[in-house]
Structure 1
Amino acid sequence: MSDKRQRARVQGSWAKQLPKPSIPTGAVSNNQQPRNVNPAPSSWGCGPQKTPKTFEFHQPTKPVRDVPPENVMEQAGDHEISNGPSGVSRLRLLPGFLPPEEADWMFSKLLAELPWSQKTNYRQGEAYEEPRLTCWYGELPYTYARSTMAANTQWHPLLLTLREAVEQVSGCSFNSLLCNLYRDGHDSIGWHSDNEAALGTKPTIASVSLGDTRVFSLRKQPPPEENGDYTYVERIRVPLSHGTLLVMDGATQDDWQHQVAKEYHDRGPRINLTFRTMYLEPEGHRPGTKLRFTPSQP
């Protein structure tokens, strides 16, 4: 057998060929397409393909809005943060109000000697423990979040000295003090305004920070047409460091809210002393009732 026949045998050319399938007259084989015939477009087995519609642009019913960036306030001085129907809202920021050594001594003494306790508040009839410790000084009680802190006229001597220093710088007089102790980064206070009726109209709040730095955040009250949506309101971020004095006055409590949010990295304890002036509850008001600005009608 020659090499050529041997190769052919190995390749199977001696195998009997299968008969070719017969093609009916007029049919077209799989490998051929009839001339002058346009194949129908694929419809993925869902019937005939419909002619696609022309894209139509529809104007959004609501305009696209950008969320305003949060402003960071770190420079000392007087800052006008808004001016609206209720008046001018102002912040006075004084980092280094207390020298570091004096602030260190005050912090350790107040941390050890003030009567700190955890207040129980109420929300929608449910009791909850505040995520911080507090104590109160003043001739009048203070009610917020539907629970009352009793009057306490036994001021710690250091607090009286500190009150005098704050009054000299701010030009205001104060008869009450709410002390807050944030034990670590998990302690906090939620969004609120200090606008209880017992604080009077346009209250001035002077806040002294001791201990670790925490962020004090403010957000502007949304206009009525926003229906309570805070998405697009102005926001301010104020890092309050050891020995800093922050004074809020004017319409700040009418037009803004503030908070100290939880932080999920290591934070040491922080004491916040908020000096304020309290008045007798207005007649007909339940203690702790909010007092809000109402624009006068023309």
Structure 2
Amino acid sequence: MISSCSSEHMCYGSEEVRFTRVMADKRQRARVQGAWANHSKTTVRSLQVHRNSSANVAGTHWLPNEQPAADGRFVFQNPTEVQRKIPEEKTIDKEGFYEISSGPTGVSRLYLKPGFIDPKEADWMFEQLYAEIPWKQKSNIREGRSYQEPRLTAWYGDLPYTYSHTAMKSNPHWHPLLIMLKDHTEKVTGYTFNSLLCNLYRNGKDSIDWHSDDEPSLGQKPIIASLSFGDTRIFEMRKKPPPEDKGDYTYVERIRIPLSHGCLLVMEGETQKEWQHRVPKEYHDRNPRINLTFRTIYPETQRN
């Protein structure tokens, strides 16, 4: 019995030993597997952190105005460089005086008076000017090449007038209607004029490109009084850019003025020094328009 019990005990003891060893092996495998699992999770987590860090680093290239905060999140900061906006174009179509800019040398000013000439009187004046002014197409020179102006012109004055590298001969024989219009314009504006450039825009394709009436013969601060007859055309103006913009007109101020039948527009002060103007082409039907631009020409001895 004792031997029997002893052998039984030994059997059970062997079973316990085997059981203990099996459990130890399982625990060991569990620890090993757990270590691999933890290592795998750590590796995945590390990869995710690495990827997020890489994304954030890349993000700094795409979002230069974002800076990492202490907790690793990005905080948006306003750009330090001022964003320039293109000024909204202004329209002037009501009677009045307009100071369009002011600088160290003085003020650029416009005076607009629609209906300066009564419509019925403007009608017959247009017909007479259209038929009796000796209209011609002037040739100019640009970049060494000759081209014809896309409009017709005529010049009146005791002195010749040179622009775009070609001269218009003096013509002291004023048409009586032009003399009457000059006198009327001088009385209303208070200025005196000794010359006149007439322009005939035959249709919407006739135009004049960007320019300033700043020829030396016009003096330091030219005054231009412009009378319009016939169809309405848009008169555009743009301010000359500052030197640092190197001729870039993207951000300059712009003005549109519809010049209607019988209206008067006066440009004075620093307008020719600070601004450019033009009458652009219009790609739809336009009837003829006559533009009379009164001005003063100075002989060379008086050009200071």
Return the TM-score normalized by structure 1: 0.77
Aligned residues between the structures: 243
Q: Which residue of 2 aligns with 1:183?
A: 202
C-alpha displacement of 1:280: 1.1
SS in 2 for 1:79: strand
The answer as to 2:136 corresponding to 1:117 is: yes
C-alpha distance in 1, partners of 2:254/2:113? 20
Q: Which residue of 2 aligns with 1:158?
A: 177
1:45-79 per-position Cα deviation (integer Å, ceiling 9, x unaligned): xxxx9974211122579642211110000110111
Alignment-derived partner of residue 7 in structure 2: none
1:225 pairs, out of 244, 258, 261, with: 244
Partner of 1:53: 55
Alignment-derived partner of residue 292 in structure 2? 273
Q: State the partner residue of 1:6.
A: none
Match of 2:230 among 202, 211, 221: 211
- Residue 229 of structure 1 aligns with an amino acid whose one-letter code is D
| Alpha-carbon distance in structure 2 between the residues aligned to 1:270 and 1:207 | 12
**Residue 88 in structure 1 maps to residue 94 in structure 2:** no
Residue pair 1:119, 1:134 contacting (<8 A) in 2 also: yes
How many Å apart are 1:261 and its aligned residue? 0.4
The superposition leaves residues 132-160 of structure 1 with CA deviations (integer Å, 9 ceiling, x where unpaired) of: 00000000000000000000001000000
Matched with 1:12 is none
> Is the 8 Å Cα contact of residues 91 and 248 (structure 1) preserved in structure 2?
yes
Which residue type is aligned with residue 168 of structure 2? M
Structure 1 residues 52 and 179: alpha-carbon distance in aligned structure 2, compared to 1, 3 A threshold? same
Question: What 5-or-longer segments of structure 1 have no aligned partner?
Answer: 1-35, 42-48, 286-290, 292-298
Partners of 2:52 and 2:265 in 1: CA distance: 68
Deviation string, structure 1 residues 112-170 (Cα, Å, up to 9, x no partner) = 00000000000010000000000000000000000000000010000000000000011
The superposition leaves residues 164-214 of structure 1 with CA deviations (integer Å, 9 ceiling, x where unpaired) of: 000001100000000000000000001111011100011110000000000
Q: Deviations over 1:88-118 (max 9, x none)?
A: 1110000000001100000000000000000
Stretches of structure 2 lacking an aligned partner (at least 5 in a row): 1-36, 45-50, 66-78
**2-structure distance, mates of 1:244, 1:50:** 69
**In the alignment, which of 220, 232, 237 is matched to residue 256 of structure 2?**
237
Quick one: structure 1 residues 52 and 256, their matched pair in 2 at CA, closer, same or farther if it must change by over 3 Å?
same
Task: Note if 1:170 corresponds to 2:192.
Answer: no
Name the structure with the higher helix share: 2
What secondary structure sits across from 2:300 in the alignment?
A: coil
Q: Helix, strand or coil for the counterpart of 2:213?
A: coil
Give the CA deviation at 1:86.
2.0
1:86·1:254 contact (CA, 8 Å) conserved in 2? Answer: no
Residue 164 of structure 2 corresponds to: 145
Q: Tell me the SS of whatever aligns to 2:186.
A: helix
Q: What is the aligned partner in structure 2 of residue 134 from structure 1? A: 153
- Secondary structure, aligned partner of 1:53: helix
Q: Which amino acid aligns with 1:159?
A: L
% of aligned pairs identical? 59
- Structure 1: which 4+ aligned runs deviate by more than 2 Å? 49-53, 59-64
Amino acid at match of 1:185: G
Q: Give the residue type in structure 2 aligned to 1:87.
A: G
Does residue 193 (structure 1) correspond to residue 212 (structure 2)? The answer is yes
Of 106, 111, 122, which aligns to 1:103? 122
Partner of 1:28: none
Look at both structures and tell me which one has the larger radius of gyration over its CA atoms: 2
Residue pair 1:209, 1:245 contacting (<8 A) in 2 also: yes
Provide the rounded CA distance (Å) in 1 between the counterparts of 2:269 and 2:53.
Answer: 65
In structure 2, relative to structure 1, the CA distance for the partners of 1:62 and 1:230 (3 Å cut) is farther
Shift of 1:85: 1.3
What CA distance in whole angstroms lies between the structure 2 residues aligned with 1:218 and 1:198?
22
When normalised by structure 2's length, the TM-score is 0.76
1:249 paired to 2:268: yes
State the secondary structure of the residue aligned to 1:230: coil
